Chain A
Amino acid sequence: MISIKNLKVNIEGKEILKGLNLQVNAGEVHAIMGPNGSGKSTLANVLTGNESYEVTEGEVTYNGKNLLELSPEDRAREGLFLAFQYPVEIPGISNATFLQTAINEIRKYNGKEELTPKEFLDMMRKKAKVVGMDDSLISRAVNAGFSGGEKKRNEIFQLLMLQPKLAILDETDSGLDIDALKIVSQGVNEYKSDDNAVILVTHYQRLLDYIVPDYIHVLYDGRIIKSGGKDLALELEEKGYDWIKEGEFDSVGTQG
């Protein structure tokens, strides 16, 4: 699905990612964990094409294409999705207009017919139910006046609507109470299949109780310094990140 090799990224001249390697295959869920400032959100943003981030070295191959050459909109059309840590409010644009535009642009790019308004609305109603949002959401403006939790939920709703191949979730669990966390996880689990993949970027282990990853990677100071199975999360929860920082970097590398 995606292969990241020796990725180095700067923001305003400061190196944040310092040679990151990661391989994610279809059907897999990878969790990227790490302390604040380790570069987790940078990775999520640079993969999605945020131009505030400057790639200085390395390559990212996504389904056989050079991802770094694609515009953000083309990345989305190729099936990449980022659930934002801080979703943006767009007053005056309804969720229906927003998602209908997005879905039809993606379909057009992939040589598919546009959805009819009825097909679209049926789909919207169905997916809204999965994340416990009612029909009034359809006509409400994108994230306008939403609480933090509602915004996160809306990101997962968009994930279900857009059906991407690779979903990157950037701190989707932050600011959620346990009920909201369950609903969001339910949405992600509903989305998951053998044909797609998920990268979970998270600071805390608790999300991983509900979305079980196949691999866990510890990102520290711009590099993945340890990778392992789901048990690694428990170890991190217990011991914090310090034991890895102090330990040897023997398990650096790609996974899967």
Chain B
Amino acid sequence: MKSVVKNRKANDWYVSLVENFEAKLNGKDNLFLKDLRKSAVGKLAAADFPTLKTEEWKYTNLNRVLNKEFIHAASVEKVELTKEDIDKFKAEDFEYNLLVFINGIFSEEFSEVGKLPKNIFIGSLNDGIQSGNEFIKNYLGKQIENKTAFDHLNDTYMLDGAFVVIPDGTVLEKPIQILNISGHPNELTFNTPRNLIIAGQNAQASIFFKYVGIEGSKYFTNSVTEIYVAENALVNVYKIELEDVDSYHIERTEVYQKANSIFSHYNFTFGGSLVRNDINSKMDGENIECHLNGLYIGRDDQHFDNHTFIDHAKPNCYSNELYKGILDDKAHGVFSGKIQVDKDAQKTNAYQSNKTILLSKDASIDTKPQLEIYADDVKCSHGATVGHLDETALFYILSRGIPEEKAKSMLITAFAEDVVSKVKIKGLKEKLNHLIFEHLNRVEV
């Protein structure tokens, strides 16, 4: 039971830092956050961090995260970045409105928000809280159930994050790029972004999250993102996770969908030493579509854990999930996808597929698709495959005079294609293909 003791210590560590954290908040704090923190810190103190004995975490050993004494980035000297740093980090492959967060704190200086339709809010959660925004009071944290210690940690240290409100009937033309830059040149830090996205009835928007880190820094990003998709709204969320090598990234994304809405999530995982994504969608209305797409590209001893949960609560909804991975060296992947079809959710269509290619004999994946069906008139399927690059296809390409390295790269592109091609932002597709080969350190065709 040694690991339990260790994790219990991690728990105490984060509680012990609260006092100093509050003392150094100068101006960022207020009554609303204080109240939240007060209730959260008690829960954090009482909750255990997951161990390998926790069912939903049994393939992910958290020791490399929990055995480190991270200090909240807001409690240490502020990281100063330049415009050049931002330009280097942000995605330039499409037109956007840009929100920049450094260690989870909004940077007005580097953000670029152009002319917007009336009543749209794109900015900082902390600003929203300070100005007493009603949406925050009504929505923040309202749909998050079954909290883990990581959720309590985020609740405790919540300060800022992206806050987006797209009012009823409003279509946002350009995607919003939310750039999160984390890490500290001299300190072992953690940061706690809290993002709240609200799309009103008939609203349409694309949100692009990019997570990066300061080169060579060791840090832990503990993020919670809440997304509300009202009736008839259409929301696309992209997440490109490119955290620095020695970082840890744990995010919970909670989606709540109302009738006739369409939500699509595109989850691309490249960076970090250990990454855990929890993506939960509750489909609370009829005729909803939910699309969850993922691609994880691992090398060295990276550990990527993607957990998805789709709750079909009402009839006539459609969910489609496609998660694919390419793992090299000693990389370890985890995929757990659960689809729950509630008793009332007749005529549900739910599909799920997880496919992984292992490029080396030491790479591995644990995959666990789960269907829980309580209705009797549904169409559901799920499947998982694990394999290597196809020898027949490789021979075909070699037989055209193409060298083995390039032939393998072609097969990697071919494998990733059905996820990459779903991306609706044009310039992003090419960029993703590029990132795959850059990360795997292979020749790009």
A residues at B contact (CB < 8 Å): 48-52, 71-73, 75-77, 81-82, 84, 87-93, 97-99, 101-102, 105-106, 109, 141, 158, 162
Contacts and interface: CB of A to CB of B under 8 A. Distances in A.
A72 B402 CA distance: 9
B401 A93 contact: no
A84 B390 CA distance: 16
B258 to A, nearest CB: 35
B399 A49 contact: yes
A51 to B, nearest CB: 8
B402 A101 contact: yes
The listed residue with most B CB atoms (<10 A of its CB), out of A48, A72, A77, A162, is: A72
Contacts of B416: 92
B92 interface: no
B410 A102 contact: no
Given A49-B399, A88-B392, A88-B397, 17 more contacts: A49-B395, A52-B391, A71-B398, A72-B395, A73-B402, A73-B403, A76-B400, A77-B401, A84-B396, A88-B396, A91-B417, A92-B414, A92-B420, A101-B402, A102-B401, A105-B403, A158-B400
B392 A72 contact: no
Nearest to B433: A92
A72 B418 contact: no
A119 B391 CA distance: 32
B417 A92 contact: yes
A90 B414 contact: yes
B417 A101 contact: no
A91 B401 contact: no
B400 A98 contact: yes
Contacts of A75: 399
Contacts of B418: 91
A197 B416 CA distance: 39
B401 A109 contact: yes
Contacts of A99: 400
Contacts of B406: 101, 105
B414 A48 contact: no
Contacts of B407: 73
B423 to A, nearest CB: 12
A81 B418 CA distance: 30
A34 B406 CA distance: 37
12 contacts: A51-B395, A71-B398, A73-B403, A73-B404, A76-B400, A77-B401, A84-B399, A88-B396, A90-B410, A90-B411, A93-B413, A98-B400
Contacts of B113: none
B399 A162 contact: no
A102 B402 contact: yes
A191 to B, nearest CB: 16
Nearest to A86: B392
Interface in B334-390: 390
B410 A93 contact: yes
B445 to A, nearest CB: 6
B417 A76 contact: no
B398 A72 contact: yes
Given A73-B402, A93-B445, A106-B401, A50 B414 contact: no
Contacts of A91: 414, 417-418
B414 A93 contact: yes
The listed residue with most B CB atoms (<10 A of its CB), out of A51, A75, A97, A101, is: A101
Given A91-B417, A92-B420, A82 B402 contact: no
A91 B419 CA distance: 11
A48 B326 CA distance: 29
A106 B404 CA distance: 14
Nearest to A164: B401
B46 interface: no
A98 B401 CA distance: 10
Contacts of B400: 76, 98-99, 102, 158, 162
B79 interface: no
A47 B406 CA distance: 22
Sorted from nearest, which 7 A-B pairs have the closest CB atoms? A92-B417, A76-B401, A88-B396, A102-B400, A72-B398, A91-B417, A92-B413
A90 B397 contact: yes
A96 to B, nearest CB: 12
B398 A76 contact: yes
A77 B418 CA distance: 31
Contacts of A82: 399
B39 interface: no
B198 to A, nearest CB: 36
Contacts of B433: 92
Contacts of A49: 395, 398-399
Nearest to A161: B400
Nearest to A106: B401
Contacts of A98: 397, 400, 402, 410
A101 B410 CA distance: 11
B393 interface: yes
A71 B418 CA distance: 31
A105 B401 contact: yes
A141 B401 CA distance: 18
Contacts of A87: 396
Contacts of B397: 88, 90, 98
A97 B399 contact: no
Contacts of B16: none
B421 interface: yes
Given A93-B445, A101-B445, A88 B393 contact: yes
